[in-house]
Structure 1
Amino acid sequence: MDAKILTTLEYPKIIYRLSHHASTAIGKEACEALHPVSDLEAVKDMLQMTDEAYAADRLKGSAPFGGIVDIKAPLHRARIGGTLNPAELLDIALTARGGRRVKKHVAVLHEDHHPIPKLQFTADQISEHKPLEDAIFDCIDEQAEVMDSASPELASIRRELRSGEGRIREKLEQMIRSASVQKMLQDAIITLRGDRYVIPVKQEYRSHFGGIVHDQSGSGATLFIEPEAIVAMNNKLRELKAGELREIEKILQKLTALASDYVEDLLINQDLLGQIDFAYAKARLAHEMKASLPRMNDRGFLKLKRGRHPLIAADKVVPIDVELGNNYTAIIVTGPNTGGKTVSLKTIGLLSLMAMSGLFVPAEDGSQLCVFDAIYADIGDEQSIEQSLSTFSSHLKNIIRILGCMTSKSLVLLDELGAGTDPAEGSALAIAILEHVHAMDCRIVATTHYSELKAYAYNRKGVINASMEFDVATLSPTYRLLVGVPGRSNAFAIAERLGLQRSIIEHARGEVSEEDQRVENMIASLEENRLGAETERQTAESLRRELEEQRARYEAERRRFEEQKEKLLHKAQEEAREAVAKAKREAEQIIADLRQLAKEEGASVKEHKLIEARRRLEEAAPELQKERRGTAKAKGKAAKVEAGDEVMVYSLNQKGTVVEIHGTDATVQLGILKMKVALDDMELLKSTAAVKTQQPKQSASLKRSRDENVKMELDLRGENLEEAIMEVDRFLDEAFLSGLGQVSIIHGKGTGVLRAGIQQYLRKHSHVKSFRLGNYGEGGVGVTVAELK
């Protein structure tokens, strides 16, 4: 890829941002060496590596790259026999340990959290050298100093050094505390010159103070003298320090020789760690840019969904949607200056380069990009004063070079094609160049001002118009790329908005050819239709989202209702089982007592009667819901349900009275509620016809059957308390005789006197088991619901 084109498309700025996300020098070096690749499989491998690092960074953060440095230079010196210093050996040990930690981190992540095969394969090749690490750390501390424990000889020498230094200091301190010596000293201190201990003596006492002069102050008033009494001791100290250096050299040579045995492995580790750090750097750049993984192809197809230029601030960038290489291979973008044409051109080129480099692109999921063999761009002002080239000549020279290099698998980006010369000749030349590139089956995106190119794109198969949207109302561009709509000049509209006399504008319109006016009118119509379609699409999208939200709420409510219904059914069945089990236990006890009585009194109790009684008790156990539904269906075929019949509604586990029949459904009165229920969801309990048949036999009975037309609610609104209580007493007697389990008394909200008096009366009434205020949907505080015994 031409370096000049990479610079034109601002690719180096992406590399600069990428390198700042590297954690190590070797990772940064890998970032700086990144360049686009034209092999599809290689690009897919690079993107997969980035994708795995993206997932790993999201799940567990970055790998532990601490301590890893570039050790290639020390390793090469060790290989040719040089002796490494303590800092270089420490770097080797730290890098070896860091590589081991990175390897473990990736392995744990791959096995326990998320499969990352390519990262795992790379990390698994890192060789571990724990003996080398231990040998170096046993001899060199974190400050890159050789420790006393590195060898017994070094420990012995340093003990003698510390002892000798202590004796020298003690001797000198005795001297400077002496009154006779103090008067000759500039300061009562001990200092060093070279590696010799000295004291500062005044110049005038030089002849009275024996010893060796090692230095003097700038003014010459102070001499730094080594007293004769410690010369021998300083000499001994120097010999010990020389011995210390020799011993340290031996230790460093031994460690260097050990490191040289692992040079090749350590160099390989260095490259592997650089690749892993490089992958994590790409992942962190993707996080920063809110980028996504593009799908790649090598068939010249490009589709960006809300692609954003990565170097423009997120709050200012305008996303573009563009497709190229399917129904059309060339896009001609027209529109005014500063409308965003060049930015759109650079966005397409830069995002293609990023994808070909294994980087995520700032676009929505589902975007597709192509691996081109090369990307060529002629963008910006190429005027060269030094070479006496005009803008037109510079652009043309660049285009000639592109035409000579491009292939059918290239992407060509041309900005302001044909500009800088006579409009008629420039537009003709631009059309000829586009025709040549199109004939080569290249993918091309070109920007232009020439209206002739709009007609060319309109009439040529495989070429499509595009434009940058311009808001005439605000006289400003919106920077949105509109594919399929050619650009308008908007000159007359802008002039009119700015206040130019209408007569001048009309005269100008007259100067425009009829054909050009038709084109402008056609574009205006297209623009109007597009805006209308866009508005309709947004409205439809809003309605779709609203419907989806409503559907989700409905589904949640339905699931909640089903769960509650199942819980209530299960609870009722359990309670019924417990009641029947208790009755069975009591019956068993009675049967046992009868048998015992028969034995004791000689009574004759038939065994088969006892067995029959037990069978009836067992059959009284409640059936499961599925069995009930089957029974209901079977009974529904045998016994027809009619209005006024008493039925059991299985889905609600509640009895009710049929009000009306509607084909396969029936309206059922359930307490104070009426519900529509399927006929196969109910079982006939008591028929109206049977009751009428038996009515003459029950004429002497005081108890009325439930199927009579007894109201389940009493409306007392507007009555006084005394009359209301009389009505309540009569109503409760009728409800009790009719076998109603629950009734509603409507007293209204009002002042609350009627409600309080009625509830006080209900507390003492013999038929009332309990009472409560109405729930939401039952009338609230204006209704009291009473449960009868």
Structure 2
Amino acid sequence: MNTRILRVLEFHKIMEQLTEKAASSLGIEKIRQLKPSADFDQVVKLQDETDEAYHVIRLKGNVPLGGIVDIKPSVKRAVIGGILSTHECLDVASTIYGGKQLKLFIDKLEDIELPIIQELADQIVPLNELEREIKHCIDDHGHMMDGASDKLRGLRSKIRTNENKIRDRLDNYTKTKAKMLSDAIITIRNDRYVLPVKQEYRSAIGGIVHDQSASGQTLFMEPQSVVELNNQLQAARVEEKTEIDRILKALSEKIAADEGFLLQNVEALGAIDFIFARAKLSHQMKASRPKMNNQGIIKMKQARHPLISSDEVVANDVELGEDFSAIVITGPNTGGKTVTLKMVGLCTLMAQSGLQVPALDGCELAVFSNVFADIGDEQSIEQSLSTFSSHMTNIVDILENFDDQSLLLFDELGAGTDPQEGAALAMSILDQVLSKGARVIATTHYPELKAYGFNRQNVTNASVEFDIQTLKPTYRLLIGVPGRSNAFEISKRLGLSEAVINDAKGHIGTDSKSVENMIASLEDSRRKAETDYEDAHDLLEEANQLKRELEKQWQQFENERETLYKKAEEKAEKAVTKAREEAELIVSELRNMQTEAELKEHEWIEAKKLLNEARPELTKKQEKQAPAIDEDKAKVLKSGDEVKLLTLDQKGTIIEQTGKNEFQVQVGIMKMKAKRKDLLFIRRDEPKMEKPLATVRGSAYHVKPELDLRGERFEDALQQLEKYIDDALLAGYNKVSIIHGKGTGALRKGVKDFARKHSKITSARDGDMGEGGLGVTVLELK
């Protein structure tokens, strides 16, 4: 970016505001070096830095950047052997302390993601030892302290003693020989204590004359009695200075030894100060981070000129580079055309410098290789030649240097010459710029350029709005609508006669009338579109509100239905559980009565099985997915296949096929016939020879000859044992093994107690060595 563009767009004023936000000369130095960058990656990094700092400012309010000084010159002088002053050493200590405070502050921001700033903070080295050395020798006012060294403490004590002796002797003169003195005071000349002696008493006092008054009537004399004491005082002061120089030399050497760390700290602190200065300016402007692109796209909502007061500025929407590459803005003078032009250019320069722009969130700006501008006030007719020449000189330079990645800003393109020739030149210039693919915004008064936007691709018209009622511009930018000539309306409002206005209208050419009629139509369409948009927006809000209310009511209905289902199922489960408990009690009593004549064993086992299957399944919000059905097996049903009888919603087993599409099905203890369409295939058990199989009433029971109860709770184990004995009896086993382990022996004892009470168990014995020993009980069944 050349300096002329920065000056024309007043970029230096942004830099002045930015400088005020810097907390140190280090940050100011970085700001002075700031220039808009054309490197896309660098611009994105700069925006990331500013955005991180902006979040810190927004959440924490401020950042501790006090006490930081540019100590680079002092450090470099110490490196070449120079002796730093006390103030220079104190600046080094202050910068070390400021760096530590800033590093601590950033390290504590764990709730904010700050990768870039954290990386800079990690480069700050806390040189605690050097800071302590300096603070031990020099106080906050830059004075070397007595405790800097033992020798200095002794010399300072000697100096104070000599000063007291001299004052005591001179005080004696002021008391005893006051009439010989111009004033009864003790003063200093040439670093020696003296008295103001009247000229006529010079001989009476005696001593050395160091100075005299302007009139010559007063001599500043050092009495002979204090000459030696003053000499001793001077000698002590010389020694003091020598000792101070020695201490400063030692401190300077230590500073030189830490040159690398100090310069690294200074660089990191300057970068952080620079970043936070940008963030503070963004916070002041109420700016937002622009999304950067390298496709030449500009999208800004409610963008404001950064240099106009927020009380006066009018926000505008600007789009360029996506649907069209050029905007031609028309409108009256002082209507805001040039302000809009400068706003777009200045915001682009700010974004490419890592600064956020005053617009709503979500704005988008492009990284241009160059920004060119020809902006200047239109001159009077008498100066038209010089004005036109000046404009054309700038334009020629722009046309020689721009490329497809450039942004061009033309103010009053073609102005300052004959209107027809100027309009023709303006259109030709725009054609050349567009042919290379650059982005361009131009302002003009020429009516021919209003039609230009309709006759060219990638070009759109825009205008600045003018209020006919108030005869004042509103400064609103209207993209897509060219500006109307308001001369007739304004003249009419100001009182010009209707006859004169109508006569003037008759002098306008047909083309001009067509253009004005087209513009009027566009304005009417725009106003109608804005009204329709507002109405549609209101309807959308009402629909969204209604949708939210319906969703809320539907959710309440779903919750209530789920609650009712759950209550009903819990009630049903309780009823079944109660019935089951009663049935278990009856079965137990029947078993104890051992009335086999009245109730056969397989009948009460079957009844118990049906009772277990009567337990309801609670409704779940997410039902388990049904197992996939083997389509090949589902085509043909065979005896033994497990199916679901759809008419009864019950599972059963195929006994045999009784017709072409008819099967006999065992459902519980019932046998019934069913059509093929009412049967859903579930699974088919493949025969396994190693497992014993017994068939009871058409149902298959697969039971192992042993039951493993290890790890089960006592009550659960006995329930499993009871069910297992029932299944083993149905399977036709004469002997089974119950594996209970040794453990405490409680489960072994429970198994044998159960066996003694069961009518179908003839004996219970411990397992042999080959059967598991005491960990197994072998039961003999009838």
Same fold per TM (> 0.5)?
Answer: yes
Spell out, residue by residue over 1:296-335, the C-alpha distance to the aligned partner (whole angstroms, 9 max, x if none): 0001111111111011111211111121111211111111
- The residue number in structure 2 matching 1:648 is none
1:645-656 aligned at under 5 Å gives the runs none
Superposition pairs for residues 94-109 of structure 1, below 5 Å?
94-109=94-109
What CA distance in whole angstroms lies between the structure 2 residues aligned with 1:228 and 1:384? 87
1:78–1:260 CA contact under 8 A, matched in 2: yes
Provide the secondary structure at the position in 1 that maps to 2:301. Answer: strand
Residue equivalent to 1:330 = 326
Asked if residue 426 in structure 1 is aligned to residue 422 in structure 2, the reply is yes
Bigger mean CA deviation after superposition, 536-545 or 353-362 = 536-545
Query: Are 1:462 and 2:462 matched, yes or no?
Result: no
Evaluate the alpha carbon distance shift between residue 287 and residue 625 of structure 1 in structure 2; reply closer, same or farther with a 3 A threshold: farther
Question: In structure 1, which of residues 170, 173, 194 is the aligned counterpart of residue 171 of structure 2?
Answer: 173
Q: Is the contact between residue 50 and residue 278 of structure 2 (CA under 8 Å) also seen in structure 1?
A: yes
Partners of 1:75 and 1:260 within 8 A in 2:
yes
For structure 1, the residue ranges without an aligned partner over 5 or more in a row are 581-622, 628-637, 639-789
Equivalent position to 2:407, from 399, 404, 411: 411
Question: What amino acid maps onto 2:297 in structure 1?
Answer: F
Distance 2:555 2:273 in 1: 49
User: What secondary structure is seen at the aligned counterpart in 2 of 1:208?
Assistant: helix
Q: Which residue identity is paired with 1:198?
A: V
Question: Equivalent residues in 2 for 1:656-695 (5 A)?
Answer: none
Query: Matched residues in 1 for 2:617 and 2:272: separation?
Result: 62
Task: Quote the offset at 1:194 in angstroms.
Answer: 2.2
Q: 1:154 to 1:382 in 2, by over 3 A?
A: farther
Quick one: structure 1 residues 235 and 389, their matched pair in 2 at CA, closer, same or farther if it must change by over 3 Å?
A: farther
Q: How does 1:267-346 map to 2 (within 5 A)?
A: 267-346=263-342
Q: Please name the residue that 1:227 is paired with.
A: 223
2:700 aligned residue: none
CA distance in 1, matches of 2:450, 2:379: 27
Q: What one-letter code is carried by the residue in structure 2 that aligns with 1:20?
A: E
TM, length-normalised to structure 2? 0.70
Counterpart contact for 2:385–2:416, Cα < 8 Å: no
Q: Structure 1 residues 247, 560: closer, same or farther in 2, change over 3 A?
A: farther
Aligned in 2, Cα 1:183/1:624: closer, same or farther, shift over 3 Å?
farther
Amino acid at match of 1:83: I
Tell me what 1:539 maps to.
Answer: 535
Q: Identify if the C-alpha distance between structure 1 residues 546 and 278 changes in structure 2 by more than 3 Å, giving closer, same or farther.
A: farther
- Picking from 154, 160, 163, the partner of 1:162 is 160
Query: Which residue number corresponds to residue 693 of structure 2?
Result: none
Paired residues of 1:383 and 1:389 also in contact (CA < 8 A):
no
Q: Is the 8 A contact 1:384 1:394 kept in 2?
A: no
Answer whether contact 2:124 2:265 (CA < 8 A) is retained: yes
- Per-residue Cα deviation, 1:270-312 (whole angstroms, up to 9, x for no partner): 1211110011011110011000010000011111111110111
**What is the rounded CA distance, in whole Å, between the counterparts of 1:211 and 1:499 in structure 2?**
100
Q: Which residue of 2 aligns with 1:48?
A: 48
Structure 2 residue matching 1:473: 3-state secondary structure: coil
Q: Distance in 2 between matches of 1:156 and 1:404?
A: 77
Q: Secondary structure at the match of 1:153?
A: helix
Instruction: Please list the CA deviations of residues 693-726 of structure 1 after superposition, one character each: whole Å capped at 9, or x if unmatched.
Output: xxxxxxxxxxxxxxxxxxxxxxxxxxxxxxxxxx
Q: Which one of the candidate residues 107, 129, 132 is aligned to 2:130?
A: 132
Displacement of 1:218: 2.2
Q: Secondary structure at the match of 1:486?
A: coil
Q: Secondary structure at the match of 2:454?
A: helix
CA distance in 2, matches of 1:177, 1:463: 99
Mapped to 2, the partners of 1:75 and 1:383 lie a distance apart of 56
2:371 maps to: 375
Partner residue in 1 for 2:117:
119
- Which SS does the other structure have where 2:299 is aligned? strand
Give, in angstroms, the shift of residue 265 of structure 1. 2.3
The answer (yes or no) to whether the contact 2:206–2:223 under 8 Å persists in 1 is yes
The whole-number CA distance in structure 2 between the counterparts of 1:383 and 1:128 is 62
In structure 1, the residue corresponding to 2:462 is in which secondary structure?
Answer: strand
Shift, 1:68, TM fit: 0.6
Change in 2 beyond 3 A, CA 1:113/1:546: same
Structure 2 residue 358 is the aligned partner of structure 1 residue 362 = yes
What root-mean-square deviation, in Å, do the aligned CA atoms of Structure 1 and Structure 2 show? Answer: 3.4
- Pairing 1:5–2:1 present: no
Work out the number of aligned pairs and report it: 587
Does the CA contact (< 8 Å) of 1:16 and 1:32 recur in 2?
no
Deviation at 1:503, TM superposition (A): 1.1
What amino acid maps onto 1:163 in structure 2?
T
Secondary structure, counterpart of 1:537 in structure 2: helix
- For the Cα contact (< 8 Å) 2:384–2:417, is it kept in 1? no
Structure 2 partner of 1:390: 386
The whole-number CA distance in structure 2 between the counterparts of 1:389 and 1:208 is 91
CA distance in 1 between partners of 2:54 and 2:366 (Å) = 22
In the alignment, residue 241 of structure 1 is paired with which amino acid? R
CA distance in 2, matches of 1:134, 1:39: 44
Aligned residues of 2:378 and 2:412 also touching (Cα < 8 A): no
Identity %: 50
**In 1: Cα distance, 2:175 partner to 2:496 partner:** 101
**SS of corresponding position for 2:99:** helix
Aligned to 1:508: 504
Residues 207 and 238 (structure 1 numbering): CA distance in 2 closer, same or farther, change over 3 Å? same
Q: Is the 8 A contact 2:379 2:416 kept in 1?
A: no
User: 1:227: Cα distance to partner?
Assistant: 1.3
Distance 1:384 1:162, change over 3 A: farther
Distance 1:193 1:546, change over 3 A: farther
Q: Distance in 2 between matches of 1:58 and 1:358?
A: 18
- Given that residues 384 and 416 in structure 2 are in contact (C-alpha distance below 8 angstroms), is that contact kept between their aligned partners in structure 1? no
**Which secondary structure does the structure 1 equivalent of 2:205 belong to?**
coil
Query: Equivalent residue of 1:207, what SS?
Result: helix
Contact 1:9 1:350 (8 Å CA) reproduced: yes
Q: Which amino acid aligns with 1:72?
A: K
* Cα drift, residue 87 of structure 1: 0.4
Q: TM-score, normalised by structure 1?
A: 0.69
Cα deviations by residue, 1:132-167 (Å, 9 ceiling, x for unpaired): 111111111101111111111111111111111111
The CA distance in 1 between the partners of 2:555 and 2:168, in whole Å, is: 91
Structure 1 counterpart SS, 2:460: strand
Deviations 1:546-599, CA, capped at 9 Å, x for gaps:
665677788889999999x99x99xx99xxx9xx9xxxxxxxxxxxxxxxxxxx
The 3-state SS of whatever aligns with 1:47 is: helix
Partner SS for 1:197? strand
Q: Is the 8 A contact 1:93 1:133 kept in 2?
A: yes
State the SS of the aligned residue for 1:316: coil
- For structure 2, list consecutive stretches of 5 or more residues without a partner in the other structure: 575-615, 621-647, 649-782
Residue of structure 1 equivalent to 2:143: 145
Task: Supply the distance in 2 between the matched residues of 1:22 and 1:292 (Cα, whole angstroms).
Answer: 20
Aligned counterpart, 1:242: 238
Identify if the C-alpha distance between structure 1 residues 77 and 389 changes in structure 2 by more than 3 Å, giving closer, same or farther.
farther
Larger displacement relative to structure 2 (540-549 or 78-87): 540-549
Instruction: Summarize deviations over 1:218-260 as a string: whole Å, max 9, x none.
Output: 2222222211111111111111000001101100111111111
Q: Please, which of 250, 254, 263 is the counterpart of residue 250 of structure 2?
A: 254
CA distance in 2, matches of 1:419, 1:367: 33
In the alignment, structure 1 residue 401 sits paired with structure 2 residue 393: no
Distance 1:499 1:412, change over 3 A: same
**Deviation of the 1:75 alpha carbon:** 1.3
Structure 1 19/624 Cα, relative in aligned 2: closer, same or farther at 3 Å? farther
Write the deviation string for residues 101-155 of structure 1: whole angstroms up to 9, x where unpaired: 212211221xx22010000011111222111111111111101111111111111
Say yes or no: does 1:472 pair with 2:468: yes
Q: What per-residue deviation string (whole Å, max 9, x for no partner) do you get for residues 207-227 of structure 1?
A: 211121222222222222211
SS in 2 for 1:20: helix
Note the 1:512-527 alignment, pairs <5 A: 512-527=508-523
Letter matched to residue 94 of structure 1:
S
Of 204-213 and 130-139, more deviation after overlay is shown by 204-213
Residues 1:12 and 1:554: Cα distance change in structure 2 (over 3 Å): farther
Mapped to 2, the partners of 1:553 and 1:207 lie a distance apart of 112
Q: Within the alignment, does 1:22 sit opposite 2:22 as a pair?
A: yes
CA displacement, residues 366-411 of structure 1 (integer Å, 9 cap, x when unaligned)? 11100000000000138799x9961011001100000000001000
